[in-house]
Amino acid sequence: MAVTGVLRPGFVQIRVMDLDEAIVHYRDNLGLDLVRQKDDFAYLRAYDEFDRHSVVLRQAEEPGLDVLGFKIISDAALADFAKRLNEMGVKTDDIAAGEHCGVGRRVRFSVPTGHVIDLYAEMELSDNGPMTKNPDIWREEPRGMRISRFDHCAVLGVDIAASAEIFEKALDFVVTERAIDPEGNPVAIFLTCSNKAHDIAFLAGPVDAKLHHASFLVESWNDVGHACDLIAQRNISLDIGPTRHGITRGQTVYFFDPSGNRNECFAGGYQHYPDNPVREWTVDQLGKAIFYYEKEVHARFTSVLT
């Protein structure tokens, strides 16, 4: 499948309450490389990412999500998306190149659930990215949980249908899967800009602008198990797992960073193509949809948000 507009989730900026402690977690436990630390910010990347960084940590008084960035194929496409957003009545702001380290011009907007989204076409390449000439499978042996890339975010708010509509109509995302209540209202919407099972998920909740989790791809079910071993050995706060989703079919473990932001190690999931119908779950089967083996959702998974 040709990806021609929005390429992928490019970076996530997460608020943390102790930057040094957070760096230890994301660098040593997840296995990301620390690219730069400056003032209240730290920039990190995974071993299989070409771009300069994919995770930004910001020192703050409370945890949560600052902004989610999506990389666009070209400046021309970036300008077109800005025009389409404006035509939908979505206000956009231009952010000059360089205001975010290593990133070109950005188009910023907010969705009805209160989440801030950045679109950009340019980011500096990493000095230590994947090899491209007679390449080994990795330049240096992966560390920690062996994260290969930042994969997606699940965010929570009230009017998820309106937020998803912006992604569909202005940015050409498609819905792969959703869960609905008895009246047909969505309680979860999973969207992709590629052929992944999802690149962003909107979850219905009573408050806006909340982060449910930031997800990081690992290579296999064995790597999910390896992450669980580290979670136990290093006394990382476990949420749930190892287990599997019904929605997306992904294999997973959820845990928390030291500030209480939920992380996920994710493997597998089906491939989506444009001619695929939308998969749909009803709320009476939501336990199985979220945790396929356990068939129930524990209270912490729905109540702990940042």
Catalytic residue positions, numbered: 152, 198, 213, 245, 254, 264
- Strands (E) in the chain, as ranges, are 6-16, 33-38, 41-45, 55-59, 64-72, 93-95, 106-110, 116-120, 149-157, 174-180, 186-192, 200-204, 210-217, 238-244, 250-256, 262-268, 279-282
Calpha distance 228→279 (Å, rounded): 29
Burial 62-97 (b: 16+ CB within 10 A, else e): ebbbbbbbbbbeeeebbeebbebbeeeebebeebee
In degrees, rounded to 5, the angle at the alpha carbon of residue 197 between the alpha carbons of residues 126 and 178 is: 135
Pairing of strands 106-110, 93-95: antiparallel
